[in-house]
Amino acid sequence: MIRPGLALTFLSVQILFAFSADARPFYPKVNGTFPARIAAQRVEAESVIIVDNSSGRVVAAKNANQPRQAASLQKLVTALVIAEAGNLDKLVTVTAGDADCPRTRLPKSVGGSYTRRELLQVMLVVSANDAARALARDNSGSESAFGAKMTAMARRVGATNSVFKDSAGFSVGGQHTTATDMVQILRAAYANPLIRQANATKFLFWRKTDGTSQLLRNPLGILHRHPHCRGGKIGYTAAASDCVALVWEEDNTRLYGVALGGKSDAFWEQLAAAHKLLAYEVP
């Protein structure tokens, strides 16, 4: 048996090795538990869940059914509603009311007309709140009406313990979800080709109303740093803290992961490391 202090040091070495090894690594058990399970439990977030795509099995979880806010991860639900509504080439004009919201907002876009497809893409790539609001208004006329559609969509994809009331993910009274529900939503979103492509986009040129274009960068740093990250979504509000959803593919395994209520700057890489380790443990 390895002493607890040595076990933690050994686990840290294994996680560092996970991001440097080219060949399939071997991770011996620590105190009878595979390092990946330990790594997932030690992700510095309130709620964590990682699910295997092939079996649908939960391979790691921590407080996964605890009601929480999900911040901009809710934009995945917004995207599902918009994608299903179709007519994606319809033009939508971004209004000053749409842009009357906290960041992130589109650069110089008020008064501009964009297709639903363009707004959906930029909403997911850079988490543009005004794009989400424009889509919700165009689809349903109001945030409250659109929120009802979001909740109905969540129910249909198996997220039965969620209530959504805001297209962009701002905190609203009575709104809640769980990591378990959000990973179901992530799986449904990734199954849609348009959403899957947007979630994997690292950079996007955006056409501004002054006639120029600006290169926008996806803020999901793990997508830029780790080739096995196939996409995802991040979010933050004061009530939700940092939140992230990841899709990871490695060793013929696809994993979906969600962490809500991030408690340190390290939790992003901790979650990525857990995905990498688990990719080699899932049968």
- Above 90 in pLDDT, residue 31? no
Cβ partners under 8 Å of residue 282, min gap 6: 52, 54, 59, 253, 255
pLDDT digits (tens, 9 = 90+) for 160-197: 999 999 999 999 999 999 999 999 999 999 999 999 99
CA angle 153, 183, 178 (to 5 degrees): 80
How far is residue 134 from each of residues 33, 137, 157, 207, 279, measured CA to CA in Å? 48, 5, 24, 16, 38
Q: Closest Cα to residue 79, out of 115, 123, 114, 144?
A: 123
**Cβ contact 145:114 at 8 Å:** no
pLDDT for res 8: 37
Give 72's pLDDT tier (boundaries 50, 70, 90): very high
Tell me the domains of the chain and their CATH numbers: 45-262 (3.40.710.10)
Q: Is 140 left (phi over 0), alpha (psi -120 to 50) or beta?
A: alpha
| Average pLDDT value for residue range 219-233 | 92
Give 263's pLDDT tier (boundaries 50, 70, 90): confident
In the chain, the amino acid numbered 112 is G
Q: What is the DSSP letter of 264?
A: S
**104 preceded by cis ω (within 30°)?**
yes
pLDDT for res 36: 55
pLDDT digits (tens, 9 = 90+) for 95-120: 999 999 988 899 999 999 999 999 99
pLDDT for res 23: 37
